[in-house]
Chain A
Amino acid sequence: MRLVNPRKVDVIIAGIGGQGVLLAGEIVAEMFMKTGFDVKKYEVRGISQRTGSVVCYIRAATKVFSPVISEGSADFLVGLELIDTYRYRKFLKKDGNIIVVDRIIPFYLIGDSSIIHPNNLLTRLRREFRRVTVVNYDRIDQYFRFVNAVNMVILGVFSNYLNLDEQSWQEVIKKKVPHKTVDMNLKAFKSGRRMILK
């Protein structure tokens, strides 16, 4: 699969604080910049640091005005956590792509909790959208989970949807992640990029 509309790409990355949503967004934005597009990026984080909802919008086009993506117009929704991916689905256009990890990070719940179950959420997502790619959390190497590099694995999976060469991805990752973690992050990215998904 390649870029649906090469003149405009809108990407949303959703997850929770501490998962590296913002870093992933930073890398995607930088990649788009390399293509010569006009780029804008916006992030919304709540007051809580870890475990709060975080979402990042990245837009690329010949000319981008609003940094915020309108509902029903994103081309990609990349999710590091299932609940929050589900929450932001209204931004995706009907034939947009979802790439999501089937992990749930629970929170103190007010109200009906029956809906919060991975299979339930995935079924609902699939009912609404045709292009849903699920990355099984258990298939992600334990090591990457432990060092919080799941964001890079998913970025690797996502990278297959864009017409950008692996070399450039690696350069940008090297530039953006902390020095000491470059190797680990590159490995995580690679494992995602090579992951074979149904």
Chain B
Amino acid sequence: MLKRLLSGNEAIARGAYENGVSFAAGYPGTPATEIVEEIAKYNRIDAQWSVNEKVALDVAVGASLGGARTLVAMKHVGLNVASDTLFTLSYTGVNGGLVIVTADDPGMHSSQNEQDNRFYAKFAKIPLLEPSDSQEAKDFVGLGLSISEIFDTPVLIRITTAIAHSKSIVKFNIKQKTNFHNKTFRKDSAKWVMIPANARKRRLLVEARLKKLKNFSERIWCNRIEWGKRNIGIITSSICYQYAKEALSDASILKLGMTYPLPEFLIKKFASKIQDLYVIEELDPFLEEQVKVLGIELKGKELFPQTGELSPSLVKDKISIRGSQNKVSSTETIEKFPPRVPSLCPGCPYLGFFYTLKKLKLFVAGDIGCYALGALPPASAMHTCISMGSSIGIALGLEKAMKDRIKHKLIAVIGDSTFLHAGIPELIDVVYNKGSVTIIIFDNQTIAMTGRQDHPGTGVTLKKESSRRFDYVKLIRALGVKNVQVVNIYDLKATKKAILEETNRDSVSVVVAKGPCILLDKYKNRKRLFKVVNSENCRKCHECLNLGCAAITIKEKGRIEIDAELCIGCSICAQLCRYNAIEKYAPR
């Protein structure tokens, strides 16, 4: 049998392949990005990056309607964007099986919030699957597709960072079917046109479907009891199952793979045989509340935090194997050791830009992307960051509220892909409502933060085919913005001039600041020119340290040194040094 070490994300992609998915879509977002990326490597599957998650889900709905088995993947906040379609999709149901994967991020490793997306399943009244390792991640895709087709419903698979990014052994199904028959496409407006008259009828079907799903969850193989000693019983799902197994090896465990709707009889049967019952789950008490409603006594969130990730040691600490509760764990001794503050890459095009923003003392409404790090020292030059595209609207609102008190002192900064994702309607709003905001679009030719994916602005598709390259200037002009400039972000003087010119205007303006992400492959092989400090000229003013380039460090007696292995030779530091102490040199 073929066995491989796969991450949860790779396993989901493999599951899509083995189970005849023929179309997949998504928008990059940690920790979900690799799912669609890996799917794209299978020639048989048509896969795409969409411009945002709602579009991805809409295209997926069309593909399902067209008969294809379909998978969509996104990070937790992405499902917020797609939720408009999701709630009504629950009514229409599907044609070809449709699975939506949401990757949640407990602990907020790379996210702006910690929402628990299991609630979306309950909210939208659709079934929810939670794999606990890569094997299940693969198997649950097949299970989800079958449930979707049998019960005529979209299915939500929820993973977390610990599932998405951990690798475990997966057995491949090599004798898989290769000829999956697509469902036949049929016009059926009673099912697909959700005007009130039709929706009211579908609404009843949704409730009937939930009842059937509840019965189904009593019997499905992924919900099972692992009997151990009966004094301690654990109800759990997802990665917490692994933590429970590791920490409490003799406890009885009700392992739930399908966590909505819940198998009430199975839970009652389990609970009736257990002395002390616990629910172990990360984030919100999603299982706990539903089990408590059944009139079952248990302990859950009074022991475990509602925030962050759990761990085997935390589980062990809270539930003693002897059945008596341990002392509450000593609050972790706070490490006095300074944390490694995340920073932009050495030579990142944003470094010089935020340096300039700081000097100009502007209020900066920011957005989602690597550039959010501009909020951290030394630049500390970004002052809001909430959701995709919101920088532009927030800037407009500030202007409306503060008028002359903030006019000419305000800009919005947004990345290229973020602008395409959600910024365009916001820009239209500024034009329409006569705002005078200046918007900077960072064109770094990639979705950098999630590991460099293509988007409409790069003119390359997920399958690496060339496509139409999006033209920012033309679009922005067409939206009614008269003042549009394009600058090279590595030219400190020119960028500064452009920012000053545009912020001083009384009408809306846009600056497209161009500079590729330094990690892009096409720039990897460029000749590296290092800058070193010419110690005779250096007056130790330490202005270069304000740039925050990780390659520049201060050594003994205030001496400045540039790390030759980190520096990419972008020249920004040399531009800002007033004493010409930083200069080029050719390596070796």
Contact = CB atoms under 8 A, between A and B. Distances in A.
Interface stretch (A42-50, A92-100, A127-135, A181-189): A42-50
Contact of A50 (B316, B376, B566): B566
A39 interface: yes
A47 B166 contact: no
A90 to B, nearest CB: 8
Interface string A20-53: 0000000001100100001111111111111111
B312 A48 contact: no
Interface in A28-83: 29-30, 33, 38-53, 64-68, 70-71, 83
Contacts of A70: 246, 311-313, 316
Interface in A94-126: 105-113, 115-116
A11 to B, nearest CB: 14
A148 interface: yes
A33 B311 CA distance: 24
A87 interface: yes
Contacts of B563: 105
Interface string B292-319: 0000000000000000000111001000
A67 B338 contact: no
Contacts of A148: 565
A41 B170 CA distance: 13
Nearest to A142: B588
A67 B8 CA distance: 12
B5 A33 contact: yes
Interface stretch (B340-348, B458-466, B500-508): B340-348
A108 B344 CA distance: 11
A48 B345 CA distance: 7
Contacts of A194: none
A65 B242 contact: yes
Contacts of B448: 49
A73 to B, nearest CB: 9
B165 interface: yes
A48 B550 CA distance: 12
B344 A40 contact: no
Interface string B274-286: 0000000000000
A27 to B, nearest CB: 11
B169 interface: yes
B553 interface: yes
A39 B519 contact: no
Contacts of A105: 550, 563, 566
B431 interface: no
A83 B312 contact: no
Interface in B336-391: 336-338, 340-346, 370, 372-373, 376-378
Interface residues of A, number: 46
Contacts of A113: 338
B23 interface: no
Interface in B26-73: 30
Given A39-B168, A50-B346, A107-B340, A65 B565 contact: no
Given A49-B448, A51-B550, A66-B311, A39 B5 contact: yes
Given A87-B337, A111-B338, A47 B343 contact: no
Given A65-B246, A70-B311, A48 B168 contact: no
Given A67-B162, A107-B343, A145-B565, A50 B519 contact: yes
A86 interface: yes
Given A49-B370, A70-B313, A108-B343, A29 B5 contact: yes
A64 B169 CA distance: 10
Contact of B312 (A42, A51, A68, A109): A68
Interface residues of B, number: 48
Contact of B550 (A64, A67, A84, A107): A107
B246 A41 contact: no
A12 interface: no
B449 interface: yes
Contact of B337 (A40, A47, A64, A115): A115
B566 A43 contact: no
A52 B342 contact: yes
Contacts of A16: 340
Given A67-B168, A87-B337, A148-B565, A108 B377 contact: yes
A66 B246 contact: yes
Given A70-B312, A86-B337, A106-B553, A47 B373 contact: yes
Nearest to A84: B340
A51 B346 contact: yes
A154 to B, nearest CB: 15
A110 B377 contact: yes
B264 to A, nearest CB: 28
B109 interface: yes
A48 B372 CA distance: 10
A122 to B, nearest CB: 15
Nearest to B554: A106
Nearest to B545: A108
Interface string A125-153: 00000000000000000000110100000
B448 to A, nearest CB: 7
B400 interface: no
B110 interface: yes
A43 B341 contact: no
Interface in B138-170: 162, 165-169
Contacts of A47: 30, 109-110, 342, 370, 372-373, 449
Contacts of A33: 3, 5, 169
Contacts of A146: 565, 587
Interface of A: 16, 18, 29-30, 33, 38-53, 64-68, 70-71, 83-84, 86-87, 105-113, 115-116, 145-146, 148
Given A46-B110, A47-B110, A70-B312, 16 more contacts: A39-B168, A41-B167, A43-B166, A47-B109, A48-B345, A49-B370, A49-B449, A50-B566, A51-B550, A65-B312, A66-B242, A67-B242, A68-B166, A105-B563, A108-B341, A109-B341
Q: Which are the 3 A-B pairs with shortest beta-carbon distances?
A: A67-B166, A48-B342, A42-B166
17 contacts: A33-B5, A39-B168, A39-B169, A42-B166, A48-B342, A49-B370, A50-B519, A50-B566, A52-B342, A66-B243, A70-B311, A108-B378, A110-B338, A111-B338, A115-B337, A116-B338, A145-B565
Interface of B: 3, 5, 30, 109-110, 133, 162, 165-169, 239, 242-243, 245-246, 311-313, 316, 335-338, 340-346, 370, 372-373, 376-378, 448-449, 519, 548, 550, 553, 563, 565-566, 587
